Amino acid sequence: MIDEAINNAQQMDQALARMIRRLQEALRQASRHQSRARTLEPGSRKLQRMSTGELTREHITRMRREDKDYPDEQRQQVAAEFDRRGYPEAAAAVTAGLAGGAALANTADPADWTTQMQAVLENAENPAYPASLVDKNVESAVDEQIANSPELAENEAEVVNSDPMTQEDFLADMAEQGIAPEVIENFDIAAEHAPNDLSEAIEQQHAQESPASEAAETNETAAIDIDQSGMEL
């Protein structure tokens, strides 16, 4: 594998697009559409506050579900956020979804990848590798690549909204997702009278995976760690 520096937005865009297509193809072939249970998806305001690694992970996490659970309007929101950051090829890959996974899945020149990105993709294509670890490694690989380039890091600082999510932001994201007005109104009233910040509770819920999935993948991770240490399973 070749360590090739990715130093500008165009190179990063191409790398992101290829990574997304490869991951989508891995999902298509493995038919792994498991994902954490959620009552509310992050809306556009929340997406704007994610690092580019988190944004990539968010898309792949949603892709693990059946297409009917990842509506076109939500896919377009994620794509629009990649495009806003100056990554139009990545946005196009998101829009294509599983249907476009194979188109450029195997056309990447090795020089397009760092060793870390290549390792992440190889793990993603291994059905035995825990899905939650793939997602976490995707996030880390993208964010570290951006952090290692002054130009990309500067762009990241400019495009990521660093302001905390407010109650108004959450309400706007809920409305954006077509949640019934009476539900939004009830949430608003509850938030006004709650002893704790309900927006914080939603943030925590976004970060959690379903208990069944977490338990299963903890066992898989332990098996992989033992296997990699050279011990017998």
Domain locations in the chain as residue ranges? 9-228
Question: Are 183 and 10 in contact, with CB atoms under 8 Å apart?
Answer: no
Listed in sequence order, the DSSP H helices in 6-71 are 9-30, 44-47, 52-63
How large is the average pLDDT for residues 141-163?
Answer: 94
pLDDT band at 96 (very low <50, low <70, confident <90, very high): confident
Q: What is the pLDDT of residue 94?
A: 93
Which has more confidence, 25 or 218?
25
Q: How many CB atoms lie within 10 A of CB 7?
A: 14
User: Over the stretch 175-221, which tens digit does the pLDDT of each residue have?
Assistant: 888 888 888 888 788 777 665 555 555 555 555 544 344 444 444 44
